[in-house]
Structure 1
């Protein structure tokens, strides 16, 4: 019995030691991209049978880029393209990178399920709610539209380190990071889901996948995109079809992972990235995001193979970028 115990203990300790010594792939960044990368990490680690560990953090796109451009992480989850200041930070630290689009996301505007007065909303009314000048002036629903209740408007949205915050403010307000400050902010989208689901007079915005996972707790609001929208006067709900055809405007966007060139030289990182891109067409829709066309993933694979560095966005985001345009750009990198 004692001999069996010693043998069993040795096996357990040996396995624990091997796990501790396994190479670690460090990932951080966007909470929007997190569900995709988490799913990839789990499948990859299973396929590796403990030979590689993958850690995935959530510090927001902006917070993640700070770590990435200091060389602290191998892979960066990003719900918007890398910005000019981040490109410069990476350059100063000698961090070269690959930019890899992995999916499309729609930012869903959500309210409490018991909200009876709001089925659709214009981008103009969203701007009235969220622009900096609204603070102290737009306090109730009726302040936005007299037909709505004279009840306190409670807003929930992404924190300032979030790529979703950057994109939403640019798409709705017209300038990235331009927002009223008196709202409940979090880089964790689950916190926003909880807040809106518990408050009748709440309105918030979250990645579509978080709405899809919480349909019983939230009600999604159709968006009237305005003059620049393909269907300018129509109320359009977020979904795979409306994202693919570009009609869910302006709150559809590509999402990315970035990989440092130095990390790509590590065999385990290179294998993980190839695994990630190879599995994206299958796994992305499983976690409620919109996959790129199969030929787009082939293009991304080719860019990885050629070690193509840099960004096609010039250090800024673009509102309403269609999938076809993204593919043209990535093909020209």
Structure 2
């Protein structure tokens, strides 16, 4: 009897102690997930169990729904917050700090055994992905007569993904404008698996996922079109993203932090830790870091509680790093 009382008391104290550990809730973009997951692991190690960080993947759009309902502290986003999301946050009085943390390149990928696709133009991508292609552009040869008369299997981001929003705007010309008869997922690992097991597949994933799966995927150089800085096929890489030549599929990625959450010491500590470690961790997980001054500007925005977005509720195709820094006040 006495032993059971001691055991019950110990269990109660253990549960109570665990319950007292503050939890930082993060959700959103699968593109930004690898960066934030790495940050969360490093931060929790540094905190020695005093703080717990959870990181979910519901896509940028799905994450903003939770963020604007006040359900999460930090939102991973692979595009800027959009007009409808700004309105949703306004209705629930959720204010936020917008922090660019890296650049990503969306990589066009095919099966490694694909021998016919040496490069692809934005016009060819549009012919594949535009809504008018559904039910009509069904084979590779329908896009280009020089390609095989084999069924084209497409893999791409789901409609809650910021990558979907950006890719459709950059390639088709209108955000969320896409054929619907393709394999869609907010989880980029699902897309990697699909393309890697199908000879006649083509998909698009963040460069980091392509880099982590070099044996499973072949990255295709992209010819950017009339507005591209270079009129030639360009491979996505840190160098071409920094130079602004991988066009139009380079874009900044973000975290958004709730003003209410930022009042908690552990969340402010986490955000400052995040910005302090971007220069090291971002390239480790195969993304392109911003210049050091950009992260210092981010810290200043946190210190000064700079609220809102500098994007006016929409994405911008082909925004270069120096243009982003100027907008954020880093230049």
TM-score by shorter chain over 0.5: yes
5 Å-filtered alignment, 1:23-102, equals 23-102=22-101
Measured in 1, the distance between the counterparts of 2:246 and 2:102 equals: 15
| Displacement of 1:18 | 2.5
Q: 1:53 to 1:286 in 2, by over 3 A?
A: same
5 Å-filtered alignment, 1:95-134, equals 95-134=94-133
Partner of 2:233: 235
Measured in 2, the distance between the counterparts of 1:16 and 1:211 equals: 42
Name the SS for the 1:99 alignment partner. strand
Partner of 1:313: 311
Name the SS for the 1:22 alignment partner. coil
Preserved CA contact (<8 Å) 1:104 1:289? yes
Partner of 1:190: 189
Q: 1:11 to 1:236 in 2, by over 3 A?
A: farther
Partner of 1:3: none
Residues 218-249 of structure 1: per-residue CA shift (max 9 Å, x gap): 000000001100002x1000000000000000
Name the SS for the 2:165 alignment partner. helix
Partner of 1:269: 267
| Displacement of 1:13 | 7.6
Partner of 1:152: 151
Preserved CA contact (<8 Å) 1:104 1:291? yes
Measured in 2, the distance between the counterparts of 1:151 and 1:264 equals: 53
Partner of 1:281: 279
Aligned residue pairs, count:
330
| Displacement of 1:295 | 1.0
Preserved CA contact (<8 Å) 2:294 2:330? no
Measured in 2, the distance between the counterparts of 1:91 and 1:193 equals: 37
5 Å-filtered alignment, 1:193-208, equals 193-208=192-207
| Displacement of 1:119 | 1.6
Relative to the length of structure 1, the TM-score reads 0.95
Q: 1:203 to 1:14 in 2, by over 3 A?
A: same
Measured in 1, the distance between the counterparts of 2:317 and 2:164 equals: 13
Measured in 2, the distance between the counterparts of 1:84 and 1:71 equals: 18
| Displacement of 1:12 | 8.5
| Displacement of 1:277 | 0.4
| Displacement of 1:59 | 0.3
Task: Note if 1:254 corresponds to 2:268.
Answer: no
Residues 91-139 of structure 1: per-residue CA shift (max 9 Å, x gap): 0100010000000000000000000000210000000000000001100
Name the SS for the 1:86 alignment partner. helix
Measured in 2, the distance between the counterparts of 1:96 and 1:161 equals: 22
Name the SS for the 1:204 alignment partner. strand
Measured in 2, the distance between the counterparts of 1:172 and 1:57 equals: 28
Measured in 1, the distance between the counterparts of 2:313 and 2:304 equals: 22
Name the SS for the 1:220 alignment partner. strand
Task: Note if 1:290 corresponds to 2:288.
Answer: yes
Measured in 2, the distance between the counterparts of 1:291 and 1:9 equals: 50
Residues 57-92 of structure 1: per-residue CA shift (max 9 Å, x gap): 000000000000000000000000000000000001
| Displacement of 1:19 | 2.8
Q: 1:7 to 1:36 in 2, by over 3 A?
A: farther
Partner of 2:173: 174
Measured in 1, the distance between the counterparts of 2:144 and 2:16 equals: 63
| Displacement of 1:8 | 11
Preserved CA contact (<8 Å) 1:19 1:51? no
Measured in 2, the distance between the counterparts of 1:93 and 1:332 equals: 31
Measured in 2, the distance between the counterparts of 1:164 and 1:140 equals: 24
